Amino acid sequence: MDSKISRRELLTKTSVVGAGLALGSLSTASAIASDSEGRNTIGASIRRADFKKEKHVPVIELPSRIVAGQPFDLTVSVGKDIPHPNTTEHFINWICVYFKAAGESRVTELAKFEFTAHGESPMGTNKGPAHSDPHVSARMRLKKSGTLIAVSYCNIHGLWESAVTVTTV
């Protein structure tokens, strides 16, 4: 992939969600890209892609019908079609889910999930008894339609996002 094309796509597709990110992980983010005004922003460093071709993209799964104000279960995962390694050296550190209500500029953080076991062991890397894979569910209630946004962080490959439109009935 041409890095200039990729960067241009990044700038045009990530400007909306930059403000609401998990700032606590900023210090571990790798390359910081610039936005269209030349500023180094976290939003400009988040990549999007087709999850069927790129293993880092978080996949949001929802019920087909969401009733305003009623609970539903959201599932989000990384590696749905192409598994991510999830080893001691290379793992998904966290996923955050945000909601941007229709007609509002503010983003609400809905949930954050941290994955903390990657096969670590005193006997060596990947010899530990447990791995926490990045596949989680949480119960939500939305009072109105909008956009759900998931952002994931890989310790090697940085920040990735996806978004789905939610229409409540």
Query: Active-site residue numbers?
Result: 54-56, 84, 90, 154, 157
Residue with tokens 């008894």: 129
**Amino acid code (one letter) for 125:** T
- Interaction between residue 154 and Fe ion (CB under 5 A): yes
CB 162 within 8 A of CB 58: yes
Tokens of 108: 């609400």
As a dihedral over the C-alpha atoms of residue 59, residue 61, residue 64, residue 67, rounded to 10 degrees, the angle is -120
Closest-CB residue for Fe ion? 154
Q: Is 157 in the site for Fe ion (CB under 5 A)?
A: yes
- Which of 61, 156, 164, 167 contacts Fe ion by CB under 5 A? 156
Q: Which stretch binds Fe ion (CB under 5 A): 41-49, 67-75, 141-149, 150-158?
A: 150-158
What is the Rg, in whole angstroms, of the alpha carbon atoms belonging to the chain?
Answer: 17
Task: Answer whether 114's CB lies under 8 Å from 93's CB.
Answer: yes
Nearer Cβ to Fe ion (25/147): 25
* Structure-block tokens of residue 129: 């008894």
Q: Site map for Fe ion, 101-140, x if CB under 5 A?
A: ----------------------------------------
Nearest to Fe ion of 22, 142 (CB atom): 22
Using CB under 5 A as the criterion, which residues of the chain lie in contact with Fe ion when the complex forms?
Answer: 154, 156-157
